[in-house]
């Protein structure tokens, strides 16, 4: 069985066949699945999916590009959601300077990133971190988080192998998805080769980032075997070893999900 640590099955791209897709993915051997909130609204739809399917769990949080939806009222609501039985992480939260260049917006991102990290601390939940073009600020904030005992994963990792090793020293995992199969993914391939397998989590970020040979199509969790095969090739081990160890890693981080095998 494959543990999918980052999906967005509440996305509009699944609106016409959501149930059919989720059933097909589950039948293909993916269980459990963490569906990840990225705004107040998508956190609500994520929680609805977790209520509907026993094998889907929720991460609650607001993506840095959606912080306009955060205020004291919505933050208080978000805090309450961290206490739900099927909420297993705070995310996806973090920093994204790729789209937002203005200093005031970046400052607001840092503010709400830290506030949401406080939710993880209070609820003893791990975090799912989005970081794009914000390596130094992310590292600094995560060092502070580490000092508070906060654990988590750097989702869709895109920085250097050296920085990945620094995150691992802090106790964080590295999220690896379809990008690792891309022909131009030299930096991520080098990172995967360098870091220990026991610090890698499998994720799709579906419906985005479909792996080769499905690149450019709508992604879903049934494509994870392509990533497993690539990681196995990089590491010089079997696909079954990658599947088993990354699954164990995910249960070690997302401890509210009870291991059943």
Distance CA 27, CA 156 (A): 25
Distance CA 202, CA 225 (A): 10
Query: Are the C-beta atoms of 170 and 150 separated by less than 8 Å?
Result: no
Distance CA 89, CA 38 (A): 12
State the pLDDT at residue 89.
98
Q: Is domain 2-253 annotated with CATH 3.40.50.300?
A: no
**Considering the entire predicted model, what is its pTM?**
0.97
Distance CA 70, CA 74 (A): 6
Handedness of CA 154, 219, 39, 85 (dihedral sign): negative
Task: Provide mean pLDDT across the span 55-76.
Answer: 97
Q: Which residues share a beta bridge with 57?
A: 34
Task: Provide mean pLDDT across the span 56-62.
Answer: 98
pLDDT at 47 over 70: yes
H/E stretch holding 142 reads: helix 135-147
pLDDT in tens, 78-127: 999 999 999 999 999 999 999 888 999 999 999 999 999 999 999 999 99
The SS3 of residue 92 is: strand
State both tokens at 172: 């964080």
Distance CA 94, CA 138 (A): 7
Distance CA 28, CA 48 (A): 23
Confidence class for position 189, pLDDT limits 50, 70, 90: very high
| Mean of all residue pLDDT scores within the chain | 97
Query: Are the C-beta atoms of 257 and 32 separated by less than 8 Å?
Result: yes
> Percentage of residues in the chain with pLDDT exceeding 70?
99
pLDDT at 260 over 80: no
Phi and psi at 6, nearest 5°, equal -160, 100
Distance CA 118, CA 2 (A): 30
The SS3 of residue 8 is: coil
pLDDT at 261 over 80: no
State the pLDDT at residue 230.
98
Half-sphere exposure (CA, 13 Å, Cβ side) for 194? 17
Provide the terminal-to-terminal Cα distance of the chain, rounded to the nearest Å: 9
State the pLDDT at residue 249.
98
Every domain of the chain and the residues it spans = 2-253
Q: Where are the beta strands (DSSP E) in 87-213?
A: 87-96, 127-132, 152-154, 173-176, 200-202
């Amino acid at each position: 069985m494959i543990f999918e640590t980052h999906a967005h099955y509440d996305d509009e791209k699944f609106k016409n066949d959501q149930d059919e897709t989720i059933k097909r993915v589950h039948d293909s051997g993916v269980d459990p699945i963490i569906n990840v909130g990225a705004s107040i609204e998508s956190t609500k739809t994520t929680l609805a999916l977790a209520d509907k399917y026993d094998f889907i769990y929720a991460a609650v949080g607001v993506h840095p590009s959606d912080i306009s939806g955060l205020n004291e009222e919505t933050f208080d609501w978000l805090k309450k959601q961290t206490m739900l039985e099927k909420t297993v992480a705070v995310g996806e939260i973090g920093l994204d300077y790729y789209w937002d260049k203005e200093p005031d917006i970046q400052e607001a991102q840092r503010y709400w990133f830290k506030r949401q990290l406080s939710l993880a601390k209070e609820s003893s939940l791990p975090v799912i971190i989005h970081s794009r073009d914000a390596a130094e600020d992310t590292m600094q904030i995560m060092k502070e988080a580490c000092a508070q005992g906060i654990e988590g994963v750097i989702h869709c990792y895109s920085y250097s192998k050296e920085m990945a090793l620094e995150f691992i020293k802090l106790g964080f995992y590295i999220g690896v998805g379809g990008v690792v199969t891309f022909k131009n993914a030299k930096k991520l391939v080098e990172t995967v080769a360098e870091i220990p397998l026991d610090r890698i989590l499998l994720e799709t970020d579906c419906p985005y980032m479909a792996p080769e040979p499905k690149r450019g199509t709508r992604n879903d969790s049934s494509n994870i075997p392509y990533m497993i095969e690539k990681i196995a090739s990089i590491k010089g081990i079997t696909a079954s070893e990658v599947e088993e160890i990354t699954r164990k890693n995910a249960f070690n981080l997302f401890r509210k999900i009870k291991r059943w095998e």
